[in-house]
Structure 1
Amino acid sequence: MEKIALITDSTSDMTKETVGRYDVKILHYRIIYKDREFTDRINITPKYVYDNMDREIPTSSLPSIDEMESLFNSLQHQGYTHAIVITLSGGLTGILNGVKLVSENYPQIKTYIYDSKSISMGEGIIVEECAKLIKKGMNFDEIVSRLPALRKRLHLYFVVGTLEYLKKGGRIGKVAGTIAELLNIKPIVAIDTNDGKYFTYDKVRGRKKSLNRIVEIADSILKNKKCRMCVLHGCALEDSQKVYNQIKKHPNVVSASFGGDISPVAGVHSGPGLVGLVLFEEE
Protein backbone atom coordinates (compact mmCIF):
# COMPACT_ATOMS: atom_id res chain seq x y z
CA MET A 1 0.00 0.00 0.00
CA GLU A 2 1.25 3.47 -0.89
CA LYS A 3 2.20 5.89 1.88
CA ILE A 4 2.71 9.31 0.27
CA ALA A 5 4.61 12.18 1.89
CA LEU A 6 3.94 15.74 0.73
CA ILE A 7 6.86 18.18 0.89
CA THR A 8 7.12 21.89 0.14
CA ASP A 9 9.26 24.83 1.21
CA SER A 10 8.84 27.75 3.57
CA THR A 11 7.97 30.24 0.82
CA SER A 12 4.61 28.52 0.25
CA ASP A 13 3.06 30.67 3.01
CA MET A 14 0.65 27.96 4.12
CA THR A 15 -1.02 28.43 7.50
CA LYS A 16 0.11 26.31 10.44
CA GLU A 17 -3.41 24.89 10.55
CA THR A 18 -3.25 23.66 6.94
CA VAL A 19 0.26 22.27 7.36
CA GLY A 20 -0.85 20.39 10.46
CA ARG A 21 -4.12 19.13 8.99
CA TYR A 22 -2.40 17.49 6.03
CA ASP A 23 0.94 16.71 7.69
CA VAL A 24 2.86 18.70 5.07
CA LYS A 25 6.63 18.55 5.46
CA ILE A 26 8.39 21.92 5.16
CA LEU A 27 11.95 22.62 4.01
CA HIS A 28 13.20 25.98 5.26
CA TYR A 29 15.17 28.60 3.39
CA ARG A 30 17.86 30.48 5.28
CA ILE A 31 18.40 34.21 5.71
CA ILE A 32 22.02 35.28 6.09
CA TYR A 33 23.40 38.50 7.55
CA LYS A 34 27.10 39.31 7.85
CA ASP A 35 27.29 38.10 11.45
CA ARG A 36 24.20 35.91 11.91
CA GLU A 37 21.98 33.40 10.16
CA PHE A 38 18.27 32.63 10.54
CA THR A 39 15.93 29.85 9.45
CA ASP A 40 12.92 31.08 7.50
CA ARG A 41 9.64 30.92 9.44
CA ILE A 42 11.45 29.39 12.46
CA ASN A 43 13.50 32.01 14.29
CA ILE A 44 12.92 35.16 12.25
CA THR A 45 9.84 37.25 11.52
CA PRO A 46 8.99 39.36 8.49
CA LYS A 47 9.03 42.43 10.75
CA TYR A 48 12.65 41.76 11.71
CA VAL A 49 13.65 41.66 8.04
CA TYR A 50 11.92 44.94 7.16
CA ASP A 51 13.01 46.75 10.33
CA ASN A 52 16.67 46.00 9.58
CA MET A 53 16.71 46.73 5.85
CA ASP A 54 18.02 50.26 6.29
CA ARG A 55 21.10 48.79 7.99
CA GLU A 56 21.68 45.61 6.00
CA ILE A 57 19.93 43.71 3.23
CA PRO A 58 20.61 40.03 3.91
CA THR A 59 21.09 37.29 1.38
CA SER A 60 19.11 34.06 1.18
CA SER A 61 20.16 30.47 0.84
CA LEU A 62 18.48 27.20 -0.04
CA PRO A 63 17.31 24.80 2.64
CA SER A 64 20.39 22.97 3.85
CA ILE A 65 21.35 19.57 2.46
CA ASP A 66 21.42 18.37 6.08
CA GLU A 67 17.77 19.34 6.53
CA MET A 68 16.81 17.55 3.31
CA GLU A 69 18.77 14.44 4.32
CA SER A 70 17.18 14.46 7.77
CA LEU A 71 13.70 14.71 6.27
CA PHE A 72 14.16 11.86 3.79
CA ASN A 73 15.80 9.73 6.47
CA SER A 74 12.79 10.33 8.71
CA LEU A 75 10.37 9.46 5.90
CA GLN A 76 12.22 6.22 5.29
CA HIS A 77 12.01 5.23 8.94
CA GLN A 78 8.30 6.08 8.99
CA GLY A 79 7.66 3.71 6.11
CA TYR A 80 6.82 6.21 3.39
CA THR A 81 6.90 4.63 -0.05
CA HIS A 82 6.39 7.79 -2.14
CA ALA A 83 7.04 11.53 -1.88
CA ILE A 84 5.68 14.48 -3.84
CA VAL A 85 7.77 17.64 -3.57
CA ILE A 86 6.23 20.95 -4.71
CA THR A 87 8.69 23.84 -4.80
CA LEU A 88 9.02 27.55 -5.31
CA SER A 89 9.38 28.46 -8.98
CA GLY A 90 12.55 27.03 -10.48
CA GLY A 91 13.08 30.32 -12.30
CA LEU A 92 13.76 31.93 -8.90
CA THR A 93 15.59 29.20 -6.98
CA GLY A 94 17.74 26.10 -7.30
CA ILE A 95 15.90 24.07 -4.70
CA LEU A 96 14.74 21.49 -7.25
CA ASN A 97 18.29 20.31 -7.93
CA GLY A 98 19.07 20.07 -4.23
CA VAL A 99 16.04 17.93 -3.48
CA LYS A 100 16.71 15.76 -6.53
CA LEU A 101 20.28 15.02 -5.38
CA VAL A 102 19.17 14.06 -1.89
CA SER A 103 16.15 12.02 -3.01
CA GLU A 104 18.44 9.87 -5.17
CA ASN A 105 20.05 8.61 -1.95
CA TYR A 106 16.66 7.11 -1.01
CA PRO A 107 15.66 4.93 -3.97
CA GLN A 108 13.13 3.05 -1.84
CA ILE A 109 11.05 6.26 -1.74
CA LYS A 110 9.66 7.02 -5.20
CA THR A 111 9.96 10.81 -5.38
CA TYR A 112 8.38 13.25 -7.81
CA ILE A 113 9.57 16.87 -7.75
CA TYR A 114 7.18 19.43 -9.22
CA ASP A 115 8.05 23.02 -10.07
CA SER A 116 5.05 25.13 -9.03
CA LYS A 117 6.18 27.98 -11.34
CA SER A 118 4.70 30.14 -8.60
CA ILE A 119 5.41 31.70 -5.22
CA SER A 120 3.77 32.23 -1.86
CA MET A 121 0.16 31.03 -1.70
CA GLY A 122 0.24 30.31 -5.42
CA GLU A 123 2.61 27.51 -4.53
CA GLY A 124 0.70 26.86 -1.31
CA ILE A 125 -2.66 26.32 -3.02
CA ILE A 126 -1.16 23.68 -5.32
CA VAL A 127 0.27 21.95 -2.23
CA GLU A 128 -3.08 22.09 -0.45
CA GLU A 129 -4.98 20.71 -3.44
CA CYS A 130 -2.41 17.91 -3.73
CA ALA A 131 -2.87 17.18 -0.01
CA LYS A 132 -6.62 16.81 -0.51
CA LEU A 133 -6.03 14.23 -3.24
CA ILE A 134 -3.70 12.25 -0.97
CA LYS A 135 -6.28 12.36 1.82
CA LYS A 136 -8.94 11.04 -0.57
CA GLY A 137 -6.76 7.99 -1.16
CA MET A 138 -5.85 8.75 -4.76
CA ASN A 139 -2.75 6.88 -5.92
CA PHE A 140 0.63 8.50 -6.52
CA ASP A 141 0.66 8.35 -10.33
CA GLU A 142 -2.83 9.80 -10.61
CA ILE A 143 -1.97 12.70 -8.29
CA VAL A 144 1.23 13.47 -10.18
CA SER A 145 -0.68 13.50 -13.48
CA ARG A 146 -3.10 16.09 -12.09
CA LEU A 147 -0.53 18.65 -10.96
CA PRO A 148 -0.22 20.55 -14.29
CA ALA A 149 -4.01 20.99 -14.43
CA LEU A 150 -3.96 22.44 -10.91
CA ARG A 151 -1.31 24.95 -11.91
CA LYS A 152 -3.34 26.07 -14.94
CA ARG A 153 -6.16 27.15 -12.62
CA LEU A 154 -3.88 29.55 -10.77
CA HIS A 155 -3.55 33.32 -11.18
CA LEU A 156 -0.97 35.35 -9.23
CA TYR A 157 -0.12 39.05 -9.40
CA PHE A 158 1.70 41.44 -7.13
CA VAL A 159 3.01 44.97 -6.82
CA VAL A 160 5.98 46.13 -4.77
CA GLY A 161 6.80 49.41 -3.07
CA THR A 162 10.08 49.73 -4.96
CA LEU A 163 11.94 47.62 -7.51
CA GLU A 164 15.20 48.17 -5.59
CA TYR A 165 15.12 44.85 -3.74
CA LEU A 166 14.11 42.70 -6.71
CA LYS A 167 17.03 44.22 -8.60
CA LYS A 168 19.54 43.66 -5.80
CA GLY A 169 18.40 40.09 -5.31
CA GLY A 170 18.72 39.25 -8.99
CA ARG A 171 15.04 38.28 -9.10
CA ILE A 172 13.83 41.00 -11.42
CA GLY A 173 13.69 38.75 -14.50
CA LYS A 174 11.81 40.51 -17.27
CA VAL A 175 10.68 43.41 -15.08
CA ALA A 176 12.15 46.74 -16.19
CA GLY A 177 13.97 48.53 -13.41
CA THR A 178 15.80 51.87 -13.33
CA ILE A 179 13.75 53.87 -15.82
CA ALA A 180 10.51 52.65 -14.27
CA GLU A 181 11.68 53.85 -10.85
CA LEU A 182 12.55 57.31 -12.21
CA LEU A 183 9.12 57.67 -13.79
CA ASN A 184 7.31 56.29 -10.72
CA ILE A 185 5.98 53.45 -12.86
CA LYS A 186 4.64 50.57 -10.80
CA PRO A 187 4.62 47.26 -12.68
CA ILE A 188 2.04 44.60 -12.01
CA VAL A 189 4.24 41.53 -11.75
CA ALA A 190 3.28 37.95 -12.63
CA ILE A 191 5.26 34.76 -13.25
CA ASP A 192 5.88 33.30 -16.69
CA THR A 193 4.66 29.69 -16.57
CA ASN A 194 7.24 28.73 -19.22
CA ASP A 195 10.46 29.80 -17.51
CA GLY A 196 9.14 30.52 -14.02
CA LYS A 197 10.55 34.06 -13.93
CA TYR A 198 8.90 37.37 -13.15
CA PHE A 199 7.56 39.51 -15.97
CA THR A 200 5.64 42.76 -16.23
CA TYR A 201 1.98 41.93 -16.78
CA ASP A 202 1.02 45.60 -16.87
CA LYS A 203 2.31 48.94 -15.61
CA VAL A 204 0.75 52.10 -14.26
CA ARG A 205 2.09 55.28 -12.73
CA GLY A 206 1.85 55.59 -8.96
CA ARG A 207 1.04 53.37 -6.01
CA LYS A 208 -2.70 54.06 -5.85
CA LYS A 209 -3.21 53.21 -9.52
CA SER A 210 -1.21 49.99 -9.15
CA LEU A 211 -3.48 48.80 -6.34
CA ASN A 212 -6.57 49.74 -8.34
CA ARG A 213 -5.15 47.83 -11.31
CA ILE A 214 -4.80 44.67 -9.19
CA VAL A 215 -8.51 44.95 -8.37
CA GLU A 216 -9.36 45.45 -12.06
CA ILE A 217 -7.37 42.36 -13.04
CA ALA A 218 -9.20 40.35 -10.40
CA ASP A 219 -12.56 41.60 -11.70
CA SER A 220 -11.67 40.62 -15.27
CA ILE A 221 -10.86 37.05 -14.19
CA LEU A 222 -13.84 36.76 -11.85
CA LYS A 223 -16.17 37.95 -14.59
CA ASN A 224 -15.97 34.49 -16.17
CA LYS A 225 -14.66 32.24 -13.37
CA LYS A 226 -15.62 31.37 -9.83
CA CYS A 227 -12.46 31.50 -7.74
CA ARG A 228 -11.00 31.18 -4.32
CA MET A 229 -9.09 34.30 -3.41
CA CYS A 230 -6.17 35.08 -1.14
CA VAL A 231 -4.37 38.37 -0.52
CA LEU A 232 -0.96 38.59 1.16
CA HIS A 233 1.45 41.40 1.84
CA GLY A 234 4.99 42.36 2.73
CA CYS A 235 4.91 45.22 5.23
CA ALA A 236 1.82 46.69 3.52
CA LEU A 237 -1.03 45.76 5.85
CA GLU A 238 -3.33 48.69 5.18
CA ASP A 239 -3.02 48.60 1.38
CA SER A 240 -3.49 44.83 1.26
CA GLN A 241 -6.60 44.97 3.43
CA LYS A 242 -8.14 47.57 1.12
CA VAL A 243 -7.47 45.37 -1.90
CA TYR A 244 -8.82 42.32 -0.07
CA ASN A 245 -12.01 44.09 1.00
CA GLN A 246 -12.70 45.26 -2.54
CA ILE A 247 -12.16 41.92 -4.27
CA LYS A 248 -13.92 39.69 -1.74
CA LYS A 249 -17.24 41.42 -2.50
CA HIS A 250 -17.30 40.01 -6.04
CA PRO A 251 -20.12 37.46 -6.41
CA ASN A 252 -17.79 34.93 -8.07
CA VAL A 253 -15.43 34.83 -5.08
CA VAL A 254 -16.43 31.53 -3.47
CA SER A 255 -14.08 31.94 -0.51
CA ALA A 256 -11.66 34.63 0.58
CA SER A 257 -8.71 34.53 2.93
CA PHE A 258 -6.37 37.22 4.14
CA GLY A 259 -3.02 35.48 4.26
CA GLY A 260 -1.10 38.12 6.17
CA ASP A 261 2.67 38.42 5.78
CA ILE A 262 4.67 36.66 3.10
CA SER A 263 7.61 34.60 4.39
CA PRO A 264 10.65 36.49 5.73
CA VAL A 265 12.88 35.11 2.95
CA ALA A 266 10.45 36.35 0.29
CA GLY A 267 10.45 39.73 2.02
CA VAL A 268 14.23 39.91 1.61
CA HIS A 269 13.79 39.96 -2.18
CA SER A 270 10.61 42.01 -2.51
CA GLY A 271 11.23 44.64 0.17
CA PRO A 272 8.47 46.50 2.01
CA GLY A 273 5.29 47.42 0.17
CA LEU A 274 4.32 44.18 -1.55
CA VAL A 275 0.63 43.46 -2.12
CA GLY A 276 -0.09 40.09 -3.69
CA LEU A 277 -3.23 38.50 -5.11
CA VAL A 278 -3.84 34.80 -5.73
CA LEU A 279 -6.96 33.50 -7.49
CA PHE A 280 -7.63 29.79 -7.92
CA GLU A 281 -10.36 28.74 -10.33
CA GLU A 282 -13.02 26.40 -9.03
CA GLU A 283 -13.90 23.45 -11.24
Structure 2
Amino acid sequence: MKKIGIVVCTNSGADYYKFDHPVEVIHSDLHLGDKVYEDFVDIKADEFYEIISKNPHIDIKTSQPPMGQIIQKYEKLRDMGYNEILTISISTKLSGIYQSTILAAEMVEGITVRAIDSKSVSYGELYLVLEAIKHIKAGLSLEEVAQKVEAVIPNINILVYVDTVKFMVKNGRLSSTAGALASLLKIKPILRMNQHDGSLVAYEKIRTSKKALNRLYEIFTEETKDRDIVAFVVYTNNKPFAEEVKKHLLTIKPGIKIELVPLTPVVGAHAGPGTLGVGYIYI
Protein backbone atom coordinates (compact mmCIF):
# COMPACT_ATOMS: atom_id res chain seq x y z
CA MET A 1 0.00 0.00 0.00
CA LYS A 2 1.22 3.47 -0.91
CA LYS A 3 1.46 5.97 1.94
CA ILE A 4 2.44 9.59 1.31
CA GLY A 5 4.44 11.64 3.79
CA ILE A 6 5.44 15.29 3.41
CA VAL A 7 8.75 17.11 3.80
CA VAL A 8 8.82 20.91 3.79
CA CYS A 9 11.62 23.39 4.45
CA THR A 10 11.74 25.69 7.45
CA ASN A 11 11.32 28.78 5.24
CA SER A 12 7.60 27.96 5.16
CA GLY A 13 7.16 28.64 8.87
CA ALA A 14 5.75 25.12 9.22
CA ASP A 15 7.35 24.75 12.65
CA TYR A 16 4.81 27.23 14.01
CA TYR A 17 1.88 25.20 12.69
CA LYS A 18 0.23 22.01 13.92
CA PHE A 19 -0.63 19.44 11.24
CA ASP A 20 -2.93 16.42 11.33
CA HIS A 21 -0.68 14.45 8.96
CA PRO A 22 3.01 13.47 9.11
CA VAL A 23 5.06 16.51 8.02
CA GLU A 24 8.82 16.62 8.52
CA VAL A 25 10.57 19.99 8.49
CA ILE A 26 14.13 20.44 7.25
CA HIS A 27 15.90 23.32 8.98
CA SER A 28 18.35 25.80 7.53
CA ASP A 29 21.12 27.32 9.66
CA LEU A 30 21.25 30.91 10.81
CA HIS A 31 24.62 32.60 11.36
CA LEU A 32 24.57 35.55 13.79
CA GLY A 33 28.05 36.95 14.31
CA ASP A 34 30.21 33.98 15.26
CA LYS A 35 27.29 31.79 16.40
CA VAL A 36 25.36 29.24 14.34
CA TYR A 37 21.74 28.35 15.12
CA GLU A 38 19.48 25.73 13.60
CA ASP A 39 16.32 27.58 12.64
CA PHE A 40 13.47 27.08 15.14
CA VAL A 41 15.39 24.35 16.99
CA ASP A 42 17.99 26.69 18.50
CA ILE A 43 16.33 30.05 17.91
CA LYS A 44 12.74 31.13 17.32
CA ALA A 45 11.30 34.25 15.73
CA ASP A 46 10.82 36.45 18.82
CA GLU A 47 14.36 35.88 20.08
CA PHE A 48 15.88 36.45 16.66
CA TYR A 49 14.19 39.80 16.06
CA GLU A 50 15.08 40.95 19.55
CA ILE A 51 18.76 40.17 18.89
CA ILE A 52 18.97 41.99 15.55
CA SER A 53 16.97 44.96 16.86
CA LYS A 54 19.48 45.38 19.69
CA ASN A 55 22.46 44.68 17.39
CA PRO A 56 21.57 46.29 14.04
CA HIS A 57 25.09 45.83 12.62
CA ILE A 58 25.50 42.16 13.53
CA ASP A 59 26.69 39.98 10.66
CA ILE A 60 23.78 37.80 9.48
CA LYS A 61 23.96 34.89 7.06
CA THR A 62 22.02 31.72 6.36
CA SER A 63 23.01 28.34 4.96
CA GLN A 64 21.03 25.48 3.49
CA PRO A 65 20.17 22.37 5.46
CA PRO A 66 22.96 19.77 5.24
CA MET A 67 22.21 16.89 2.88
CA GLY A 68 22.42 14.46 5.80
CA GLN A 69 19.50 16.15 7.52
CA ILE A 70 17.27 15.76 4.46
CA ILE A 71 18.24 12.11 4.17
CA GLN A 72 17.37 11.58 7.85
CA LYS A 73 13.91 13.06 7.30
CA TYR A 74 13.30 10.75 4.35
CA GLU A 75 14.49 7.74 6.33
CA LYS A 76 12.31 8.67 9.29
CA LEU A 77 9.18 8.80 7.14
CA ARG A 78 10.14 5.58 5.38
CA ASP A 79 10.64 3.81 8.71
CA MET A 80 7.18 5.07 9.77
CA GLY A 81 5.74 3.27 6.75
CA TYR A 82 5.60 6.16 4.26
CA ASN A 83 7.04 4.88 1.00
CA GLU A 84 6.15 7.99 -1.03
CA ILE A 85 7.22 11.51 -0.10
CA LEU A 86 6.10 14.90 -1.38
CA THR A 87 8.65 17.66 -0.80
CA ILE A 88 7.70 21.33 -0.93
CA SER A 89 10.54 23.85 -0.99
CA ILE A 90 11.12 27.58 -0.96
CA SER A 91 11.39 29.17 -4.40
CA THR A 92 14.46 28.05 -6.35
CA LYS A 93 15.13 31.76 -7.02
CA LEU A 94 15.77 32.23 -3.30
CA SER A 95 17.49 29.00 -2.28
CA GLY A 96 18.91 25.73 -3.58
CA ILE A 97 16.91 23.54 -1.18
CA TYR A 98 14.68 22.17 -3.96
CA GLN A 99 17.66 20.66 -5.78
CA SER A 100 18.98 19.23 -2.51
CA THR A 101 15.69 17.40 -1.90
CA ILE A 102 16.02 15.76 -5.32
CA LEU A 103 19.65 14.76 -4.79
CA ALA A 104 18.90 13.37 -1.31
CA ALA A 105 16.17 11.16 -2.75
CA GLU A 106 18.78 9.32 -4.83
CA MET A 107 20.59 8.32 -1.63
CA VAL A 108 17.66 6.70 0.18
CA GLU A 109 16.29 3.30 -0.77
CA GLY A 110 12.67 2.27 -0.50
CA ILE A 111 11.01 5.60 -1.24
CA THR A 112 9.66 7.58 -4.17
CA VAL A 113 10.11 11.36 -3.89
CA ARG A 114 8.18 13.97 -5.85
CA ALA A 115 9.65 17.47 -5.42
CA ILE A 116 7.75 20.74 -5.80
CA ASP A 117 9.23 24.22 -6.19
CA SER A 118 6.67 26.37 -4.38
CA LYS A 119 7.88 29.54 -6.17
CA SER A 120 6.97 31.09 -2.83
CA VAL A 121 7.98 31.43 0.81
CA SER A 122 6.44 31.66 4.29
CA TYR A 123 2.67 31.03 4.37
CA GLY A 124 2.55 30.87 0.57
CA GLU A 125 4.65 27.72 0.85
CA LEU A 126 2.85 26.48 3.95
CA TYR A 127 -0.54 26.74 2.24
CA LEU A 128 0.66 24.22 -0.33
CA VAL A 129 1.36 21.77 2.49
CA LEU A 130 -2.22 22.18 3.73
CA GLU A 131 -3.52 21.60 0.20
CA ALA A 132 -1.36 18.50 -0.14
CA ILE A 133 -2.71 17.06 3.11
CA LYS A 134 -6.28 17.64 1.92
CA HIS A 135 -5.67 15.75 -1.31
CA ILE A 136 -3.72 12.93 0.37
CA LYS A 137 -6.66 12.37 2.72
CA ALA A 138 -8.96 12.30 -0.31
CA GLY A 139 -7.02 9.28 -1.56
CA LEU A 140 -5.21 10.81 -4.52
CA SER A 141 -1.95 9.32 -5.79
CA LEU A 142 1.41 11.05 -5.23
CA GLU A 143 1.49 12.48 -8.75
CA GLU A 144 -2.15 13.56 -8.56
CA VAL A 145 -1.49 15.35 -5.28
CA ALA A 146 1.58 17.05 -6.75
CA GLN A 147 -0.35 18.26 -9.79
CA LYS A 148 -3.17 19.61 -7.62
CA VAL A 149 -0.66 21.46 -5.46
CA GLU A 150 1.27 22.88 -8.42
CA ALA A 151 -2.01 24.19 -9.88
CA VAL A 152 -2.40 26.41 -6.80
CA ILE A 153 1.00 28.13 -7.18
CA PRO A 154 -0.05 30.74 -9.80
CA ASN A 155 -2.87 31.81 -7.46
CA ILE A 156 -0.55 32.80 -4.61
CA ASN A 157 0.16 36.52 -4.36
CA ILE A 158 2.59 38.05 -1.85
CA LEU A 159 3.29 41.76 -1.45
CA VAL A 160 6.11 42.84 0.85
CA TYR A 161 6.24 46.11 2.78
CA VAL A 162 9.82 46.82 3.90
CA ASP A 163 11.39 49.35 6.22
CA THR A 164 14.66 48.98 4.31
CA VAL A 165 15.85 46.76 1.48
CA LYS A 166 19.44 46.72 2.74
CA PHE A 167 19.11 43.18 4.14
CA MET A 168 17.74 41.83 0.86
CA VAL A 169 20.35 43.69 -1.19
CA LYS A 170 23.20 42.48 1.04
CA ASN A 171 22.12 38.86 0.76
CA GLY A 172 21.26 38.92 -2.94
CA ARG A 173 17.59 37.97 -2.49
CA LEU A 174 16.21 40.96 -4.41
CA SER A 175 16.28 40.65 -8.20
CA SER A 176 17.35 43.98 -9.65
CA THR A 177 20.17 45.84 -11.40
CA ALA A 178 22.93 47.63 -9.54
CA GLY A 179 21.57 51.07 -10.47
CA ALA A 180 18.07 50.16 -9.40
CA LEU A 181 19.34 48.81 -6.08
CA ALA A 182 21.04 52.12 -5.32
CA SER A 183 17.78 54.00 -5.80
CA LEU A 184 15.76 51.44 -3.84
CA LEU A 185 17.89 52.06 -0.77
CA LYS A 186 16.53 55.61 -0.64
CA ILE A 187 12.82 54.76 -0.79
CA LYS A 188 10.13 52.46 0.63
CA PRO A 189 9.41 50.06 -2.20
CA ILE A 190 6.67 47.47 -2.35
CA LEU A 191 8.23 44.15 -3.29
CA ARG A 192 6.41 41.23 -4.84
CA MET A 193 6.93 37.51 -5.21
CA ASN A 194 6.58 36.67 -8.90
CA GLN A 195 4.45 33.53 -8.66
CA HIS A 196 5.37 32.51 -12.20
CA ASP A 197 9.13 32.23 -11.71
CA GLY A 198 9.49 32.60 -7.94
CA SER A 199 11.69 35.70 -7.96
CA LEU A 200 11.36 38.59 -5.51
CA VAL A 201 11.17 41.86 -7.41
CA ALA A 202 10.67 45.55 -6.74
CA TYR A 203 7.04 46.07 -7.73
CA GLU A 204 6.54 49.77 -7.04
CA LYS A 205 8.86 52.51 -5.80
CA ILE A 206 7.28 54.74 -3.18
CA ARG A 207 8.79 57.56 -1.14
CA THR A 208 7.22 57.18 2.30
CA SER A 209 6.07 54.35 4.55
CA LYS A 210 2.53 55.71 4.79
CA LYS A 211 2.15 55.96 1.02
CA ALA A 212 3.59 52.47 0.58
CA LEU A 213 1.09 50.99 3.03
CA ASN A 214 -1.83 52.81 1.41
CA ARG A 215 -0.71 51.60 -2.00
CA LEU A 216 -0.49 48.04 -0.68
CA TYR A 217 -4.12 48.34 0.44
CA GLU A 218 -5.07 49.65 -3.00
CA ILE A 219 -3.40 46.71 -4.75
CA PHE A 220 -5.11 44.28 -2.39
CA THR A 221 -8.48 45.92 -3.08
CA GLU A 222 -7.99 45.92 -6.87
CA GLU A 223 -6.72 42.36 -7.14
CA THR A 224 -9.17 40.69 -4.76
CA LYS A 225 -12.35 42.39 -5.94
CA ASP A 226 -15.04 39.81 -6.69
CA ARG A 227 -12.58 37.00 -5.91
CA ASP A 228 -12.76 34.33 -3.22
CA ILE A 229 -9.50 34.35 -1.29
CA VAL A 230 -7.61 33.16 1.74
CA ALA A 231 -5.35 35.94 3.06
CA PHE A 232 -2.38 36.15 5.40
CA VAL A 233 -0.23 38.76 7.09
CA VAL A 234 3.39 37.89 7.88
CA TYR A 235 5.20 39.86 10.57
CA THR A 236 8.74 40.23 11.89
CA ASN A 237 9.24 42.29 15.07
CA ASN A 238 6.01 44.19 14.44
CA LYS A 239 3.08 41.98 15.44
CA PRO A 240 0.91 44.91 16.70
CA PHE A 241 1.36 46.57 13.30
CA ALA A 242 0.42 43.29 11.60
CA GLU A 243 -2.73 43.10 13.68
CA GLU A 244 -3.66 46.63 12.55
CA VAL A 245 -3.08 45.67 8.93
CA LYS A 246 -5.24 42.58 9.37
CA LYS A 247 -8.08 44.70 10.77
CA HIS A 248 -7.84 47.07 7.83
CA LEU A 249 -7.88 44.23 5.31
CA LEU A 250 -11.06 42.96 6.95
CA THR A 251 -12.70 46.34 6.34
CA ILE A 252 -11.81 45.95 2.64
CA LYS A 253 -13.02 42.36 2.43
CA PRO A 254 -15.19 41.52 5.46
CA GLY A 255 -15.56 37.92 6.57
CA ILE A 256 -12.49 36.47 4.86
CA LYS A 257 -10.04 34.22 6.67
CA ILE A 258 -6.75 35.97 7.44
CA GLU A 259 -3.86 34.08 9.00
CA LEU A 260 -1.37 36.03 11.12
CA VAL A 261 2.02 34.32 10.94
CA PRO A 262 5.59 35.04 12.12
CA LEU A 263 8.41 35.19 9.59
CA THR A 264 10.84 32.50 10.66
CA PRO A 265 14.44 33.66 11.38
CA VAL A 266 16.16 32.23 8.27
CA VAL A 267 13.77 34.26 6.10
CA GLY A 268 13.74 37.25 8.43
CA ALA A 269 17.53 37.36 8.13
CA HIS A 270 17.06 38.51 4.53
CA ALA A 271 13.94 40.61 5.09
CA GLY A 272 15.11 42.52 8.16
CA PRO A 273 13.14 43.98 11.08
CA GLY A 274 10.10 46.07 10.24
CA THR A 275 9.20 43.96 7.23
CA LEU A 276 5.59 42.89 6.76
CA GLY A 277 4.05 40.69 4.09
CA VAL A 278 0.47 40.62 2.84
CA GLY A 279 -0.61 37.63 0.84
CA TYR A 280 -3.81 36.45 -0.80
CA ILE A 281 -4.55 33.17 -2.50
CA TYR A 282 -7.33 32.82 -5.03
CA ILE A 283 -9.48 29.81 -4.18
- In structure 2, relative to structure 1, the CA distance for the partners of 1:213 and 1:22 (3 Å cut) is farther
- In structure 2, relative to structure 1, the CA distance for the partners of 1:57 and 1:158 (3 Å cut) is same
> What is the CA distance between 1:102 and its match in structure 2?
1.0
**TM-score, structure 1 as length reference:** 0.92
> What is the CA distance between 1:159 and its match in structure 2?
1.3
Asked if the contact 2:71/2:108 (under 8 Å) is kept, the reply is no
Runs of 4+ in structure 1 deviating by more than 4 angstroms, as ranges, are: none
> What is the CA distance between 1:250 and its match in structure 2?
3.4
Write the letter of the residue equivalent to 1:188: I
Query: Take 1:229 and 1:194, find their aligned partners in 2: how far apart are those partners?
Result: 19
Q: Number of residues paired by the alignment?
A: 278
Where does the alignment leave 5 or more consecutive residues of structure 1 unmatched? Answer: none
Q: Which residue of 2 aligns with 1:105?
A: 107
Q: Which residue of 2 aligns with 1:75?
A: 77
Q: Which residue of 1 aligns with 2:230?
A: 228
Asked if the contact 1:7/1:86 (under 8 Å) is kept, the reply is yes
Write the letter of the residue equivalent to 1:4: I
Mapping 1:142-181, distance limit 5 Å: 142-174=144-176, 176-181=180-185
Where does the alignment leave 5 or more consecutive residues of structure 2 unmatched? Answer: none
> What is the CA distance between 1:107 and its match in structure 2?
4.4
Query: Take 1:16 and 1:45, find their aligned partners in 2: how far apart are those partners?
Result: 9
- In structure 2, relative to structure 1, the CA distance for the partners of 1:34 and 1:275 (3 Å cut) is closer
Asked if the contact 2:14/2:25 (under 8 Å) is kept, the reply is no
Asked if the contact 2:74/2:108 (under 8 Å) is kept, the reply is yes
**Residue aligned with 1:22, SS:** coil
Query: Take 2:236 and 2:260, find their aligned partners in 1: how far apart are those partners?
Result: 13
Q: Which residue of 2 aligns with 1:201?
A: 203
Query: Take 2:255 and 2:144, find their aligned partners in 1: how far apart are those partners?
Result: 29
- In structure 2, relative to structure 1, the CA distance for the partners of 1:108 and 1:191 (3 Å cut) is same
Q: What is the CA RMSD across the aligned residues, in angstroms? A: 1.8
> What is the CA distance between 1:41 and its match in structure 2?
1.2
- In structure 2, relative to structure 1, the CA distance for the partners of 1:205 and 1:122 (3 Å cut) is same
**Structure 2 residue 8 is matched with structure 1 residue 8:** yes
Asked if the contact 2:4/2:85 (under 8 Å) is kept, the reply is yes
Query: Take 1:248 and 1:192, find their aligned partners in 2: how far apart are those partners?
Result: 25
Q: Which residue of 2 aligns with 1:45?
A: 44
- In structure 2, relative to structure 1, the CA distance for the partners of 1:22 and 1:192 (3 Å cut) is same
Query: Take 2:206 and 2:34, find their aligned partners in 1: how far apart are those partners?
Result: 40
Percent identical pairs in the alignment equals 26
Query: Take 2:216 and 2:65, find their aligned partners in 1: how far apart are those partners?
Result: 32
**TM-score, structure 2 as length reference:** 0.92
> What is the CA distance between 1:215 and its match in structure 2?
1.3
Task: Out of 215-224 and 87-96, give the one that drifted further.
Answer: 215-224
Render the CA deviation track for 1:214-245: whole Å, top value 9, x for unaligned. Answer: 21111112212011111011122233222111
Write the letter of the residue equivalent to 1:269: H
